[in-house]
């Protein structure tokens, strides 16, 4: 009656990009980057580079390597300005001045929608640079070069970016598809032990909800991974990345317009634990605990058998994760509502019905959550005592 | 050789929304907005409202109407906080504090990805609010209520938002699809004459490149439009909006990943003229001149016949547009390179091969552009003299 006319709009947008695996990306005989940068352009193209300070600290020759690399291929690409460094970790996402300086470089060097921003670093730096690249000119081309296990197998290969605002993690951000992602395994060798281990929990997570054979494989590689076997880690990253990317491809909701977020198995408690610990517990470490918690909950609710739960907990503990923190207490329960709020809509939590098969529920029994917390804490103590 | 493995990612994202035409949206018996806000939710939902100060000035009762409307429907929706006012025009896009205050309201009132930001105003205000809504939580639901001819038939119904940065128009922004757009024709009656006229040029533009019968219709309605006939304007807005939306739907490049931007016929010169005049010449006015210029260029290059050109120029002049500004000089030429830079890639300009049919070229002959400037200026003088 009040509606006089209506025009229905409906369209699809296609997105594609490659995740390329390599070693020693900036050695001058490695043509992957130059091929990529000149693949989509008839004329000479330009790029700016932003690097995580932590990566420079571990690879002091990196800036020189980058300079030499671009000099070598100066016919087809120009490196504009010098490499911009921004600090790694949440600092890069908390302090707006870093976003500001990336935008300034994009402006100063005339980076347009057909030129490139190349980001090298851990997940936080990729998130911050990705956000700046996504909003400049409504999106300039972004090449992500993740340097940690976590960013190479999960956070760096997806379609999200973000910065913290009002003290809230990822309050501002967008869904933006990178032009390409390059995983260079030479960055992994210098990782500190905690960073080497951290990212493994995302592989356990995706294996448990989607791929039993991958979980079996991880179980079989616990000691290789603990001994920093490069081949085992490369395989773990590849399979984990592949499962994540296939999920985005097949979910039908790549930009998360609904309430369901299956890849966030174990994450509701993880986010809260990170916050309660003032980010002393890192994301991957928190996810390991979140997985232990929601697997135990799945067992206590009768979905998962005891032998299955034992395999999950033993795998996590075997990889050296600590699953007993003093911040793991009833405060964690608040994470449920915050998780719902962040995504909006209905609470949707992934649980396990068997190893390799997840399913969703829309409420959690708080008493059983508390029971699960006690269960994993005492399980861990007994293990340690052995 | 250097590439060890590759994972190819490829997926589609579906977007849809409705453009609803109505009158007197905030009268309490108009259920369009409440139906829309409660359509996608099982529980009570919430919204914040941001309004263009210029709209409040012309409709002093609007804030009270909005309050009463939400009180009436308090069972299904909550209006959070009071209506936030931000100034109209480029000011809303130039001053970051407005974005900041919108983000603050989103945060304070817990607007999540399933709650709503309702923006009421001209294109600039919709752009600024749209940007804030797009980056908060990676996108909260945005309802756009455009209040000018230009925003109801073009800028408010598309998928872009943006703010100015580094003194550059739309330097920061994103492609983000609104939850819905509502065109309420009661806002049009109070428009100043310049704003009433301004948006008509976008209708001429899209008619000339896509729909000859619509151009004929506009020619037939020149005097009705000049006399502010409401039915004629409603029809013009509907047909123009429909052509714009169908273009986005069928272009295959809704998020402008390529270099072509067919809807920007006449816009390369328009953007430059706006800037040269310090935005004294408004967007729609500048577009009218840009259309005159590129139509004349099409004639001088032999694509368009003289009678066809005369019809275009007479229609524009007949609608009361001024096509002779002292800023229309050789400085305009710089707009070509700036236009290319903004989108990136190859220069791509739409010209006319007949009335209703556009085609693209990748270079412009500067001498003929200058000749076209002189042509329209002397054509206009002669017309005025008659």
Residue in the block written with tokens 């019905």: A353
Nearest CB to A249; choose among B11, B15, B176 = B11
User: Mean pLDDT score of chain A, rounded to an integer?
Assistant: 93
Give the span between the Cα atoms of B74 and B305, in whole angstroms: 60
DSSP type of residue B136: B
Q: Which residues contact A309 (CB under 8 A, 6 or more apart)?
A: A295, A296, A298, A299
B255: closest chain A residue by CA: A13
Q: List chain B residues with CB under 8 Å of A140.
A: 344
* C-alpha to C-alpha distance for B317 and B310, rounded to whole angstroms: 10
Strands (E), chain A: 5-22, 45-52, 77-79, 84-86, 116-121, 141-146, 160-165, 168-175, 180-184, 349-354, 357-361
Tokens (6 digits) for B17: 């929304």
B184-198 confidence digits (pLDDT tens):
999 999 999 999 999
**CATH T-level topology, domain A18-190:** Rossmann fold (3.40.50)
pLDDT at A146: 98
Q: Which residues in chain B are closer than 8 Å to A19, comparing Cβ atoms?
A: 6-7, 9
Candidate from B32, B131, B249 with C-beta closest to A10: B249
CA distance A129 to chain B (A): 14
Confidence of residue A326 (pLDDT cuts 50, 70, 90): confident
- Of chain A, the percentage scoring pLDDT greater than 90 comes to 82
ipTM associated with this complex: 0.94
Best of A46, A138, A345 to disrupt the B interface by mutation (most B CBs within 10 Å)?
Answer: A138
Look at residues A201, A209, A203, A225 and name the one whose alpha carbon lies nearest to residue A273: A201
Say yes or no to pLDDT of B386 above 70: no
Non-local (6+) Cβ contacts of B296 within 8 A are B309, B313, B372, B375, B376
Strand partners, B55: none
Confidence band (pLDDT; 50, 70, 90) for A1?
Answer: low
Residue A360's φ and ψ, nearest 5 degrees, are -105, 145
Read off the pLDDT of each residue in B108-137 and give the average, rounded to a whole number. 96
Query: pLDDT tens across B318-358, in order?
Result: 999 998 888 888 899 999 988 887 777 789 999 999 999 99
Which one-letter DSSP state was computed for residue A331? G
Measured CA to CA, the distance from residue B193 to residue B187 in angstroms comes to: 13
Q: Running DSSP on this structure, what letter comes out for residue B244? A: H
Kindly identify which residue of chain A lies nearest to residue B343, measuring between CA atoms.
A113
Q: What pLDDT score was predicted for residue B8?
A: 95
Cα separation, B135 vs A65, in Å, equals 35
CA-wise closest residue to A298 among A210, A290, A247: A290
**C-alpha distance from A118 to closest chain B C-alpha (Å):** 17
- Nearest by CB to residue A134, choosing from B7, B12, B174, is B174
Contact list in A for residue B14 (CB cut-off 8 A) is 10-12
Query: For chain A, how many residues are written?
Result: 386
Structural fold of domain A193-245+259-385: Dehydroquinate synthase-like, alpha domain (1.20.1090)
The domain ranges of chain B are 18-190, 193-385
Q: Give residue A42's pLDDT band: very low, low, confident or very high (50, 70, 90).
A: low
Distance of CA A76 to the CA centre of its chain: 32
Burial (0-12, 13-18, 19+ Cβ within 10 Å), B128: buried
Burial class (CB in 10 A: 0-12, 13-18, 19+), B64: exposed
pLDDT-derived band at B42, boundaries 50, 70, 90: low
Interface A-B: count of C-beta contacts within 8 A: 211
CB–CB contact B2 A30 (8 Å): yes
Burial class (CB within 10 angstroms; exposed 0-12, middle 13-18, buried 19+) of A135: buried
Q: Tell if the CB–CB gap between A11 and B16 is shorter than 8 Å.
A: yes
Q: Which CATH number fits domain B193-385: 3.90.1010.10, 2.60.40.10, 1.20.1090.10, 3.20.20.120?
A: 1.20.1090.10
Of the candidates A40, A46, A30, A112, the residue with the CA atom closest to the CA atom of residue A78: A46
Q: What is the pLDDT of residues A58-117, one digit of tens each?
A: 999 999 999 999 999 999 899 999 999 999 988 999 999 999 999 999 999 999 999 999
Instruction: Look at B30 and A255 and tell me if their CB atoms are within 8 Å.
Output: no
Cross-chain residue pair B7–A19, CB shorter than 8 Å: yes
- Pairwise CB contact (< 8 Å): A9 & B136: no
**CA neighbours closer than 13 Å in the CB half-sphere of residue A188:** 26
In this prediction, residues A209-237 reach a mean pLDDT of 98
Q: Are B383 and B320 in contact (CB under 8 A)?
A: no
Partner-chain contact B22 A3, CB within 8 Å: yes
Check residue B3 and report its DSSP letter.
-
Helix (H, G, I), strand (E, B) or coil at A89: coil
Greatest Cα pair distance, chain B, in angstroms, is 75
- Provide the pLDDT confidence category of residue A46 given band limits of 50, 70 and 90: very high
Under a CB-based contact definition with an 8 Å cutoff, are residues A51 and A122 in contact? no
What is chain B's mean pLDDT, rounded?
A: 93
* Contact indicator for A19, A181 with CB cutoff of 8 Å: yes
Q: Say how many Å lie between the first and final Cα of chain B, rounded.
A: 74
Q: Which among B344, B347, B363 is the top mutation candidate for probing chain A, defined by the most A β-carbons within 10 Å of its own β-carbon? A: B344
Closest partner residue to B22 among A4, A115, A176, by Cβ?
Answer: A4
Q: What is the per-residue pLDDT for A383?
A: 80
């Amino acid at each position: 009656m009040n509606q006089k006319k209506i025009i229905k709009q409906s369209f699809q947008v296609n997105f594609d990009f490659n995740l390329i695996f390599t070693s020693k990306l900036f050695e001058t005989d490695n043509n992957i980057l130059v091929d990529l940068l000149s693949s989509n352009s008839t004329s000479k193209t330009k790029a700016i580079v932003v690097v995580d300070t932590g990566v420079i600290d571990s690879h002091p020759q990196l800036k020189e390597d980058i300079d030499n690399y671009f000099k070598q291929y100066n016919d087809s690409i120009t490196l504009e300005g010098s490499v911009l460094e921004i600090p790694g970790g949440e600092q890069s996402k908390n302090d707006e001045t870093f976003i500001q300086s990336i935008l300034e470089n994009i402006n100063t060097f005339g980076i347009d929608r057909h030129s490139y921003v190349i980001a090298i670093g851990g997940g936080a730096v990729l998130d911050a640079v990705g956000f700046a690249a996504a909003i400049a000119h409504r999106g300039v081309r972004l090449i992500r070069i993740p340097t940690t296990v976590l960013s190479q197998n999960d956070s760096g290969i997806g379609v999200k970016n973000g910065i913290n605002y009002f003290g809230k993690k990822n309050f501002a951000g967008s869904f933006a598809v990178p032009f390409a992602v390059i995983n260079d395994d030479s960055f992994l060798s210098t990782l500190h032990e905690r960073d080497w281990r951290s990212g493994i929990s995302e592989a356990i997570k995706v294996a448990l909800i989607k791929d039993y054979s991958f979980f079996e494989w991880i179980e079989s590689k616990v000691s290789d991974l603990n001994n920093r076997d490069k081949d085992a880690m490369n395989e773990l990253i590849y399979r984990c990345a592949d499962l994540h990317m296939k999920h985005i491809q097949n979910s039908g909701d790549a930009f998360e317009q609904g309430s369901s977020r299956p890849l966030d198995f174990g994450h509701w408690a993880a986010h809260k634990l990170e916050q309660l610990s003032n980010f002393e517990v890192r994301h991957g470490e928190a996810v390991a605990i979140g997985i232990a918690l929601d697997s135990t909950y799945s067992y206590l609710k009768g979905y998962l058998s005891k032998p299955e739960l034992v395999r999950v907990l033993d795998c996590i503990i075997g990889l050296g994760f600590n699953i007993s923190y003093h911040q793991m207490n009833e405060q964690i329960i608040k994470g449920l509502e915050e998780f719902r709020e962040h995504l909006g809509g209905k609470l949707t939590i992934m649980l396990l019905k068997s190893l390799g098969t997840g399913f969703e529920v829309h409420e959690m029994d708080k008493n059983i959550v508390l029971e699960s917390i006690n269960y994993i804490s005492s399980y861990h103590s007994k293990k340690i005592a052995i």
